[in-house]
């Protein structure tokens, strides 16, 4: 899919909604990128001269051009497509009046500041309600706006550690491990988007705007689902299972003759088909292995048998065999293989775009699909301050003289 900058299709469900994005890094930008993909006009407020921290989080960066165009990082590109950038110095006293005007005009506001900054900028739920009763606001923080840790900053790695995710990730006898991406931020961005959409539905039905309080730690704990629930049920501390599953066997990665393959027998009927396919019917009839609870109880006896079996064939041979047997499985693919796969292309999950310097870029696309979805545009993440004048005019009806005065005073930048 190829696109350049342009106006968003009027058939997108959130067209006409104004989203003021005061967030930085990842969780907030993930949320607002979803809203942008769905058609909202997302205005990203950034610090003049610096912008979002992730603009410098590389390598890799976009290739340089002869005219010295900015080189955004892959990190920034991943979560800021389709937004407009307004460079506003929130530390400048005159900026607060501009911020208030933006809040009055917005339908949605998202921020991830520490409590003292929230108070300084006048972003408390009570003040936002007074400024704009219809505003749907969402506050993202490490630990939420209540409780003994309310003032503690939240960082993905720290939250993975303190919210339990690292304790259950890694090999049983190895060290705790983090997930390979900033998963707590991504999960929180998704919960934040759900919260915002719920607030918009409520507003449509006649309610005033809602103020949502979304915490990385809460979202991470919620994401532990069956593992956390098992702890509540038994009182026992979960252990690490590496690539295995605490409650399903066999459900893990096995080494083949030339690589690795994931086997996912989530039902007894799948286990029987596997055993019959590999001429091991006796395993399916064995009282120890006949049912999933039995296989879980006797995993230390069963897994070595399966491990030896899988080493007898290549990954490709196992893929063919298991496909015929209708047993869930998957070859472990590298990311470069995934983005180049026919399935990824068919799902339009890589978008080809061209930035305003003429540089071709590939971006990961939106996973939200529906039959009538129009071609996405604009997609290119913004240059710092690229839309300062346009937003001040479109949203606030500031005239050219006032905008220029704000620029001269250092309140805004382009």
Residues with a known catalytic role:
185
Q: For tokens 């003049």, name the residue.
A: 48
What gap in Å lies between CA 407 and CA 389, rounded to an integer? 9
Which H, E and C letters describe 141-189, residue by residue? ECCCCCCCCCCCCCCHHHHHHHCCCHHHCCCCCCCCCCCCCCHHHHHHH
Cβ neighbour number for residue 101 with a 10 Å cutoff: 16
CB 9 within 8 A of CB 32: no
Q: What is the distance in angstroms between the CA of the first residue and the CA of the last residue of the chain?
A: 30
CB 178 within 8 A of CB 166: yes
- For 17, which DSSP code? -
Sheet of strand 412-413, all strands in order from the earlier edge strand to the far edge? 211-215, 136-141, 108-111, 18-22, 41-46, 84-88, 412-413
Contacts of 118 (CB under 8 A, 6+ apart): 111, 124, 139
CB 156 within 8 A of CB 54: no
32: helix, strand or coil: helix
What gap in Å lies between CA 284 and CA 272, rounded to an integer? 5
Two tokens at 86?
A: 């307004």
Contacts of 375 (CB under 8 A, 6+ apart): 1, 3, 9
CB 273 within 8 A of CB 287: no
């Amino acid at each position: 899919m190829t696109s350049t900058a342009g106006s968003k299709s009027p058939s997108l469900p959130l067209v006409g909604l104004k989203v003021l994005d005061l967030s930085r890094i990842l969780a907030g930008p993930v949320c607002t990128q979803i809203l942008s993909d769905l058609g909202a006009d997302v205005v990203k407020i950034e610090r003049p001269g610096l912008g979002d921290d992730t603009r410098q989080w590389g390598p890799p960066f976009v290739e340089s051009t002869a005219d010295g165009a900015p080189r955004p990082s892959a990190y920034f590109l991943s979560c800021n497509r389709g937004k407009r950038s307004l460079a506003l110095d929130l530390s400048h006293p005159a900026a607060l009046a501009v911020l208030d005007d933006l809040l009055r005009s917005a339908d949605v506001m998202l921020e991830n500041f520490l409590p003292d900054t929230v108070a300084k900028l006048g972003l408390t739920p009570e003040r936002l309600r007074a400024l704009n009763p219809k505003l749907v606001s969402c506050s993202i923080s490490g630990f939420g706006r209540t409780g003994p840790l309310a003032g503690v900053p939240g960082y993905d790695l720290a939250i993975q550690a303190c919210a339990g995710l690292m304790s259950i990730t890694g090999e049983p006898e190895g060290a705790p491990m983090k997930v390979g991406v900033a998963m707590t931020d991504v999960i929180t961005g998704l919960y934040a988007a759900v919260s915002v959409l719920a607030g918009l539905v409520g507003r449509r039905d006649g309610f005033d705007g809602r103020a949502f309080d979304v915490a990385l730690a809460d979202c991470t704990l919620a994401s532990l689902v069956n593992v956390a629930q098992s702890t509540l049920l038994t009182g026992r501390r979960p252990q690490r299972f590496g690539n295995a599953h605490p409650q399903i066997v066999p459900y893990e990665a096995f080494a083949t003759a030339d690589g690795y393959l994931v086997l996912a027998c989530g039902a007894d009927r799948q286990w029987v088909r596997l055993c019959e396919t590999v001429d091991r019917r006796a395993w399916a009839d064995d009282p120890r292995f006949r049912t999933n609870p039995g296989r879980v109880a006797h995993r230390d006896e069963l897994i070595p048998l399966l491990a030896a079996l899988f080493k007898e064939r290549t990954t490709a041979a196992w893929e063919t065999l298991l496909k015929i047997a209708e047993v869930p499985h998957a070859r472990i693919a590298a990311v470069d293989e995934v983005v180049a796969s026919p399935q990824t292309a068919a799902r339009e999950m890589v978008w080809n775009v061209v930035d305003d310097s003429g540089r071709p870029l590939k971006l990961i696309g939106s996973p939200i699909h529906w039959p009538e979805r129009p071609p996405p545009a604009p997609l290119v993440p913004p240059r710092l301050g690229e839309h300062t004048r346009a937003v001040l005019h479109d949203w606030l009806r500031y005239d050219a003289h006032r905008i220029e005065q704000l620029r001269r005073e250092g309140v805004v930048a382009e």
